[in-house]
Amino acid sequence: MTSIPRRGLLAGAGSALLGLTLAGCDQISRNAGVRATLARAEGLTMAAQRLILARGALAREFTAADISPDFRANGSLRPAGVAYQNLVANSFADWRLEIGGLVERPLSLSLEDLRRRPARTQITRHDCVEGWSSIGQWTGARLSALLEEAALKPEARYIVFHCADRLDPNAVGDRGLYYESIDLVDAFHEQTILAYEMNGQVLPVKHGAPVRLRVERQLGYKHAKYVMRIEAVESFAHIAGGKGGFWEDRGYEWYAGI
């Protein structure tokens, strides 16, 4: 009977072909031209979402009963480094939020200063790029009020958030530091706040103490934790990897509305 070896041969050829195809897929996925082409869809996605999304449209807000008891913390859970440890030890009394860059009046605010600024409380869903969601209540200073106080210069187009955590200890220089950026549409959105409270308590360290950004119509990695400095810029091309954020420098979309 030749059928057994023939079948074996066929199976062998089949799996070899499959293996080649799969290896081919990986090759294609690593190709720079292919990556650049695939990345073009992001512009279309952002344009389409901004088209259907009224500027002021709010993310759905939930009730206290919906708050997740198991809100997951991701990314850095406790920034290393003496500077941050000292801030924690002193309950952030020495922390100052610097707001600068393309502004008329640079600000340096303590946590108490920030708590005296116009605030907003919202119960929203946090959507991680990994696929999970948790619901939490956030209280924080409205970013729009802070930016109005600092008075943006006309050339300012993006707001960059520089953070205390080095999420990639192996990266050189500022490339390992966490940072994020949003445009002015999101910066002036009603639900965009610098949260210092979560679920009615002081924001825990694992969730970004003393303040984290909430930018509710985008995915979790845009919600920068451990914010130390806010910078208004015309372009973020000169910062770290130049893509506008820690994860963006690692291939994730700058516009994280999907």
Binding residues for other proteins, per CB under 8 A? Answer: 18, 22-23, 25-26, 29-30, 35, 37-42, 44-45, 49, 52-54, 57-60, 62, 66, 68, 70, 72, 125, 127-135, 216-219, 247, 250-253, 256-258
At its nearest, how many Å lie between other proteins and the CB of residue 246? Answer: 12
User: Collapsing DSSP states into helix, strand and coil, what is residue 9?
Assistant: helix
Contact between 164 and 84 under an 8 Å Cβ cutoff? The reply is yes
**Shortest distance in whole angstroms from residue 90 CB to other proteins:** 33
What is the separation, in whole angstroms, between the first and last Cα of the chain?
A: 57
Nearer to other proteins, 100 or 257 (CB): 257
Pairing of strands 158-166, 133-142: unpaired
Q: Which is nearer to other proteins, 67 or 145 (CB)?
A: 67
**Can you list the alpha helix ranges (DSSP code H) found in the chain?**
3-30, 32-39, 41-52, 82-89, 111-115, 143-150, 184-187
Residue 103 CB, shortest distance to other proteins, in Å, is: 28
What does the alpha-carbon distance between residue 229 and residue 99 come to, in Å, rounded to a whole number?
A: 6
Least separation in angstroms between CB 92 and other proteins: 29
Peptide bond into 69 cis (omega under 30): no
8 A C-beta contact, residue 168 and residue 176: yes
Nearest distance in Å: CB 196, other proteins: 22
Dihedral sign for Cα atoms in the order 254, 56, 193, 63: negative
Nearer to other proteins, 142 or 217 (CB): 217
- Identity of the residue, 68 or 144, whose beta carbon is nearer to other proteins in the bound complex: 68
Structure tokens at 250: 């690692």
Of 13 and 38, CB closest to other proteins: 38
Task: Name which of 31 and 201 has its Cβ closer to other proteins.
Answer: 31
CB of 253 to other proteins, least distance (A): 7
